[in-house]
Amino acid sequence: MKNKDIVLVLDFGSQYTQLIARRIRESKVFSKIVPYNISIDEILEMKPKGIVLSGGPLSVYDKGAPLPNKEIFKLKIPILGICYGAQLITHIFGGKVKKTNEREYGRAELFVDSPRGVFFNLPSNLTSWMSHGDEIKKIPAGFRSIAHTLSTPHAAIANIPKKIYGVQFHPEVVHTQRGHQIIANFLFQVCGCLPRWTMDKLVKEKIKEIKALVKDEKVVMGLSGGVDSSVAAVLINQAIGKKLSCVFVDNGLLRKNEASHVEKTFKTHFKMNLSCVDAQKRFLNRLKNVTDPEQKRKIIGDEFIKVFQDSSSRSKKVKFLGQGTLYPDVIESISPTGGPSATIKSHHNVGGLPKRMKLKLIEPFRELFKDEVRQIGKYLGVPENIIKRQPFPGPGLAIRIVGEVTRERLDTLREADDRVLEEIRKAGLYDQIWQSFAVLLPIKSVGVMGDKRTYENAIAIRAVTSLDGMTADWVPLPHDLLAKISNRIINEVPGINRVVYDVSSKPPATIEWE
């Protein structure tokens, strides 16, 4: 694409690496994630206006710690190091990084000592999000401290003439006050970028890529009816038309009335080539006696692929499998650039994919977040009742049942979950909440119903707000609403006598229980 400024994000394994890239794109500057050990020749070929060094799970003084090519600091390209990236800058330029006596995690008040560069036009104190066990003990020669917290004297450093900055906190997460402006300052004040990257350009580029990849072959698309797969299907359909066949798999792990809703929406509204496969027995048989969440996810991913491959075998020209995979799925399952990130959990469409797969993948949203996909959906004319749907995990209710997945437990959870969503919609809160759902717990407790002792199951209610799924806060639902949900579940769903509310944020918890 002509006249496109680009900023590279070097991935050192942070769970927030893609979030950095996304924040850059939000400022209408194109960003690309690359491996931390990218060669100088590759960097020069892309002609970036700036380079960001991501955070990471390791310490710079660890044996085998990932280090970039030191020549990047001689390219005269502006550099911003975030957390581990700031410590790398310190380490490489001769400063000292040591383990801190008091690990700083969560919100911390940041005091700006030099309102220039990345802190241009910002207030003197901000709320920042910290996540580190190391700290900069000695600033390198040529650098100066430009911000501090009460426990971190060098929370941000800079070599202003060389345009090299390091921040110990994470400006990319929503918890950091004015974090978007810190990143924008780096882009516009330091790098001299122009805001020329827009969503319509991204859509056109993706359509062009899909056409070039598929050519005269055919694509089978795994359609769940959720936001991701729905928008991906519309995008792929715009690129290749009738060469796309959508398959909806009823795996028995869906919400109440999900199958009929999906079939009606896509056959009637989108007029797509859609076939529905009843594979409930296949999935439930394979999940029998399985309790480990990682094993559940991998079994479901493997069985999905087998169903799709069975469907595609009827046509010799089907060579590709389309999926609505998002970056949070990828970043929690594997390191997308070969960086040293830790696996949080395998997603059915990433870590659960079999090693030997006959179909090649088409995943147009693999480097995007949910809200970006919603923007694309709006641009493509996808109805709002689909775009605004709360996320539903690919493994479905299987990862909302802690313990073994059985037909009976699925039916119980389906009914409880239906009550949760119904009451939240009635309260007018559905569109304000990222996800709200029920979880069936693997415990029973004593209760009293109709003057009789009961010993039945417990349901946990989960409701969170988020922008991207990478971080999330629990929602303080009104007490009267919680009371209504609890009463309905206990009175209307057989086998449940206790309801609890999950008040955990991400991190440290994940949104889903498994």
Residue 20 contacts residue 82 (beta carbons within 8 Å): yes
What is the distance between the alpha carbons of residues 507 and 514, in angstroms, rounded to a whole number? 14
Task: For residue 458, list its beta bridge partners.
Answer: 498
Burial letters 423-448, b for 16+ CB under 10 A, else e:
bbeebebbeebbbbbbbbbeeeeeee
Instruction: Tell me the DSSP string of 128-143.
Output: EEEEEEEEEEEPPTT-
Query: Which residue pairs, CB below 8 angstroms and at least 24 apart, start in 207-215?
Result: 207/235, 207/238, 207/239, 209/364, 210/235, 210/236, 210/239, 210/240, 210/362, 210/364, 211/239, 211/240, 213/320, 213/362, 214/239, 214/240, 214/243, 214/319, 214/320, 214/362
Alpha-helical regions (H) of 142-214 = 179-184, 199-214
What is the distance between the alpha carbons of residues 476 and 227, in angstroms, rounded to a whole number? 25
In the residue annotation, 479 being an active-site residue is answered as no
In the residue annotation, 172 being an active-site residue is answered as yes
**Token code pair at residue 455:** 């010993």
Nearest Cα to Cα of residue 514 among 350, 344, 342, 369: 344
What is the distance between the alpha carbons of residues 300 and 37, in angstroms, rounded to a whole number? 34
Q: Which residue has the tokens 């179909």?
A: 359
Residue 378, classified by CB atoms within 10 Å of its CB into exposed (0-12), middle (13-18) or buried (19+), is middle
Give how far Cα 319 sits from Cα of 149, 251, 316, Å. 55, 23, 8
Nearest Cα to Cα of residue 85 among 124, 110, 118, 126: 118
Question: Is omega for the bond preceding 508 within 30 degrees of 0, making it cis?
Answer: yes
**Token code pair at residue 392:** 């539903």
In the residue annotation, 83 being an active-site residue is answered as yes
Helix (H) or strand (E) holding 408, with range, is helix 407-426
Neighbours of 100 (CB within 10 A): 15
Q: Which residues lie below 8 Å from residue 235, measured CB to CB, with a gap of 6+?
A: 203, 206, 207, 210, 364, 376, 380
CA angle 21, 188, 195 (to 5 degrees): 70
Residue 129 contacts residue 107 (beta carbons within 8 Å): yes
Active-site hit among 104, 135, 172, 423? 172
Active-site hit among 132, 170, 347, 348? 170
Amino acid identity, residue 386? I
CA angle 401, 510, 80 (to 5 degrees): 160
Neighbours of 170 (CB within 10 A): 24
Q: Which residues are catalytic?
A: 83, 170, 172
